[in-house]
């Protein structure tokens, strides 16, 4: 089986292997794009690989794995599910969680070490 590259002009390519039809692939691609579509987020570059096992012994024939670089943060996601739609939803949840953590990580790093004014910290006004 040859992998099909379905990422057009997107910077995050979604590759499929096995019996993945175009409708399922479009749904997965839309969910990945929705997870990375956040205002103020740096451009995302990477790849998500989706495959469907021919013999599904464990009940979860759909697997996906991806490495996506958003700005300077690398996000690695893996998921296994019973259907393509459940897989897409799981990928979206995991990607969105990592994007949220990466977006708020910078905010927490820029906080000051001074206590708030009600705990004896600076009030913002100069007292003489």
pLDDT tens profile 47-77: 999 998 877 666 788 999 999 998 888 999 9
Identify the sign of the CA torsion 45, 103, 89, 75: positive
| Architecture field, domain 4-110 | 2-Layer Sandwich (3.30)
Q: Is 0.75 topped by the overall pTM? A: no
Q: What average pLDDT score do residues 113-125 get?
A: 78
Identify the sign of the CA torsion 73, 11, 51, 61: positive
Any idea where the domains of the chain sit in the sequence? Answer: 4-110
Strand arrangement, sheet containing 44-52? 4-5, 12-17, 44-52, 62-70, 73-81
Q: What average pLDDT score do residues 26-39 get?
A: 91
* Cα distance between residue 81 and residue 90, in whole Å: 8
């Amino acid at each position: 089986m040859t992998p099909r590259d379905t990422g057009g002009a997107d910077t995050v390519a979604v590759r499929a292997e096995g019996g993945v039809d175009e409708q399922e692939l479009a749904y997965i691609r839309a969910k990945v794009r929705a997870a990375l579509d956040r205002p103020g987020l740096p451009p995302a570059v990477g790849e998500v690989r989706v495959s469907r096992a021919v013999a599904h012994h464990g009940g979860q024939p759909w697997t996906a794995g991806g490495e996506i670089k958003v700005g300077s943060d690398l996000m690695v996601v893996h998921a296994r599910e019973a259907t393509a739609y459940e897989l897409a939803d799981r990928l979206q949840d995991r990607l969105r969680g990592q994007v949220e953590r990466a977006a708020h990580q910078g905010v927490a790093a820029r906080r000051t070490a001074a206590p708030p004014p009600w705990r004896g910290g600076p009030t913002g006004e100069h007292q003489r």
